[in-house]
Amino acid sequence: MSETRLCTVYADPEPQRLDRALALAFPDLSRSRLQALIREGHVVVNGMMVRDPAAKVSTGAAIALDMPPPGPADPQPETIALAIVYEDEDLIVIDKPAGLVVHPAAGHEAGTLVNALLAHCGESLSGIGGVRRPGIVHRLDKDTSGLLVVAKNDRAHQSLSAQFADHGRTGPLERAYLALVWGAPQPSRGVIDAPLARSAHNREKMIVTKGQGRHARTHYAVEERFGAEPVASLVRCTLETGRTHQIRVHLAYRGHPLLGDALYGPGFKTKASRLPAQAQDALATLGRQALHATLLGFAHPTSGKAMRFESPPPADFSRLLAALRASF
């Protein structure tokens, strides 16, 4: 069933836009969503339907907003086991396994995290942009494991999206990753500041560019070295920006691609021969880039409370780490 919301405009001396008046009255709805509702004929001002989001409304104007029920999501719900770290009416935090794609796309129309969340959350999804779907505010690569937060409603989606766009500059957003890399970056702690763009030769790859790339900054710290002249090392990375493949590209750019990264470290495959047999076997079993999202912190979109979650590396990553520790 649809829901009718009522409000009265309290404007400045000058009339204001209809979409802005509604955004002030109903902060749980995004402005783009309100603009769509206006254009679709769901808003009545002083008894008359208005379809122009820029229409001016004055103090005292009575507005009725007809909220249609959320429409069905295009992806189909699928029962897929999820490691749920935290859940409430606004959001859900997942410890994503390696191999799980976050969002349906060409070649991955089903079997994704979104399909799983549609089945798990069901009616608790109040609709993102008018569609009953989870609000994806950040992503992890298919073969990266670890923590990921998803919004259940428009209000939470707006708040979390703003926090991720701010990258923790003014709020409590934290993201930290553990990576196993070839060699050991020097100095042992630092910042990689290098813009990224999509490769013109391989659309699956991102590259460091001196041209029209997007600003990207990765902070890193070497936590462990394996070997007197390190064959590999454990590196902790925190993000100041959140670009596609950012950690993988930045570390490869510095000459230290992730172990198991076939896309950004193919030239390092022969390095595996320098590993003892136990570590070679563990790397072969890993079969993916050795990257895990181990820490996630943010402000709760409703209460404002600082939320902080940690995830130890999964079994495949831990097995390789243990083998490296035992080998050197």
Highest mean pLDDT of the ranges 1-15, 78-92, 113-127, 200-214: 78-92
Domain of 55, in residue numbers? 3-67
Q: What's the average model confidence in pLDDT over 297-307? A: 96
* 122 and 214 assigned to the same domain: no
Of 48-62, 66-80, 123-137, 192-206, the poorest mean pLDDT is in: 123-137
Does the active-site annotation cover 193?
A: no
* 145 and 183 assigned to the same domain: no
The Cα 141–Cα 244 span in angstroms is 8
Q: What's the average model confidence in pLDDT over 208-228? A: 93
Q: Does some domain include residue 73?
A: no
* 318 and 241 assigned to the same domain: yes
Of 17-21, 131-135, 267-271, the poorest mean pLDDT is in: 131-135
Q: Is the model more confident about 2 or about 190?
A: 190
* 105 and 37 assigned to the same domain: no
In total, how many domains does the chain have?
3
**Predicted model pTM:** 0.78
pLDDT of residue 107: 65
Q: How confident is the model at residue 201 (pLDDT cuts 50, 70, 90)?
A: confident
The Cα 61–Cα 64 span in angstroms is 10
We report the CATH number of the domain holding residue 256 as 3.30.2350.10
Q: How confident is the model at residue 237 (pLDDT cuts 50, 70, 90)?
A: very high
Q: Does some domain include residue 188?
A: yes
* 142 and 183 assigned to the same domain: no
Q: Does some domain include residue 302?
A: no
pLDDT of residue 310: 98
Q: Does some domain include residue 132?
A: yes
- Neighbouring residues of 178: CB distance < 8 A, sequence distance ≥ 6: 223, 234, 235, 236, 237, 291, 292, 294, 313, 317
Q: Does some domain include residue 75?
A: no
Q: Does some domain include residue 74?
A: no
Residue at 142: amino acid letter = K
Last residue of a domain, one of 148, 166, 184: 166
| Beta carbons of 248 and 288 less than 8 angstroms apart | no
* 238 and 106 assigned to the same domain: no
Q: Of the listed 19, 90, 141, 316, which one is catalytic?
A: 141
Tokens 């490691």 belong to which residue? Answer: 83
* 114 and 23 assigned to the same domain: no
- Neighbouring residues of 198: CB distance < 8 A, sequence distance ≥ 6: 205, 206, 207, 244
* 183 and 284 assigned to the same domain: yes
Q: Does some domain include residue 300?
A: no
Q: How confident is the model at residue 254 (pLDDT cuts 50, 70, 90)?
A: very high
**Strands 306-310, 217-226: parallel, antiparallel or unpaired by DSSP?**
unpaired
Tokens standing for residue 82: 């999820």
Of 118-127, 208-217, 316-325, the poorest mean pLDDT is in: 118-127
Tokens standing for residue 63: 């507005």
Last residue of a domain, one of 166, 190, 212: 166
Last residue of a domain, one of 166, 190, 205: 166
Task: Say yes or no to pLDDT of 126 above 70.
Answer: no
**Chain-wide mean pLDDT for the chain?**
89
* 98 and 232 assigned to the same domain: no
Of 98-107, 136-145, 153-162, 302-311, the poorest mean pLDDT is in: 98-107
* 198 and 259 assigned to the same domain: yes
pLDDT of residue 154: 84
Task: Say yes or no to pLDDT of 314 above 70.
Answer: yes
* 228 and 317 assigned to the same domain: yes
Task: Say yes or no to pLDDT of 73 above 80.
Answer: no
pLDDT of residue 294: 98
Q: What's the average model confidence in pLDDT over 197-201? A: 88
Q: What is the spatial order of strands in the sheet that 43-45 belongs to?
A: 3-8, 62-67, 43-45, 48-49
Q: How confident is the model at residue 106 (pLDDT cuts 50, 70, 90)?
A: low
We report the CATH number of the domain holding residue 27 as 3.10.290.10
Phi-psi region of 109 (alpha: psi -120 to 50; beta: other; left: phi over 0): alpha
Q: Does some domain include residue 275?
A: yes
**Residue of 179, 185, 145, 205 lying closest to 290 (CA atoms):** 179
Cβ-based neighbour number of residue 95 at 10 Å? 19
